[in-house]
Amino acid sequence: QSYLPGEIEEDIAEEEMLRISRESGYDVDEKDSDSDDEVIEGEVLLIVRSSLGKVIECGVVPSLCTLGALKALISQKMPELRPRQMQFVLSGKRIEASDDLTLAEVEITGGEQLFVIQKLYNPGSSSSSSSSS
């Protein structure tokens, strides 16, 4: 079976993706991944509330999105909110988690409204992750 160089790479990339998602413990559905139209379980409504009382709905994000990626997305829409000042809140509970965790890993799975508020204190340049509640 003679492959064109491009085809082999594509096959490998696809296998790699499957392997990664298997290792991460996600179920890899054999469904066609091109159909993003229907809202699937595992999508979260993102609502941002700035310190100025401005509330914007950022729309729906997949629960496999990392917190860091969400912060980047939000700071594009609201430049006055810096990623390090953002605090995620789900049904009144603050989420203290590192940015490389996905929403699913902090148990936000879908059909939920995730609020983002601005932390009022500025921890400065020290990157200590002590949460003072």
| SS3 annotation, the chain | CCCCHHHHHHHHHHHHHHHHHHHCCCCCCCCCCCCCCCCCCCEEEEEEECCCCCEEEEEEEECCCEHHHHHHHHHHHCCCCCHHHEEEEECCEEECCCCCCECHHHCCCCCCEEEEEECCCCCCCCCCCCCCC
Q: Where are the domains of the chain?
A: 43-118
The pLDDT tens digits of the residues spanning 61-92 come to 888 999 999 999 888 888 888 888 888 888 88
Alpha carbon separation from 7 to 12, 14, 75, 101 (Å, rounded): 9, 11, 38, 33
Tell me which CATH code domain 43-118 carries: 3.10.20.90
> Which residues, in sequence order, are bridge partners of residue 109?
none
pLDDT at 108: 84
Of the two residues 43 and 121, the one the predictor is more confident about is: 43
Q: Is residue 94 pLDDT above 80, yes or no?
A: yes
Tokens coding 123? 């921890």
The pLDDT tens digits of the residues spanning 100-114 come to 999 999 988 777 888
Question: Residues 105, 121, 96, CA angle at the centre, nearest 5°?
Answer: 10
Q: How many CA atoms lie within 13 A of 130 on its CB side?
A: 5
The pLDDT tens digits of the residues spanning 27-65 come to 445 444 444 444 456 788 888 887 677 788 888 888 899
Q: For 117-133, what is the mean pLDDT? A: 57
Q: Is residue 4 pLDDT above 90, yes or no?
A: no
pLDDT at 125: 46
Q: Give the residue carrying structure tokens 């595992």.
A: 42
Of the two residues 3 and 66, the one the predictor is more confident about is: 66
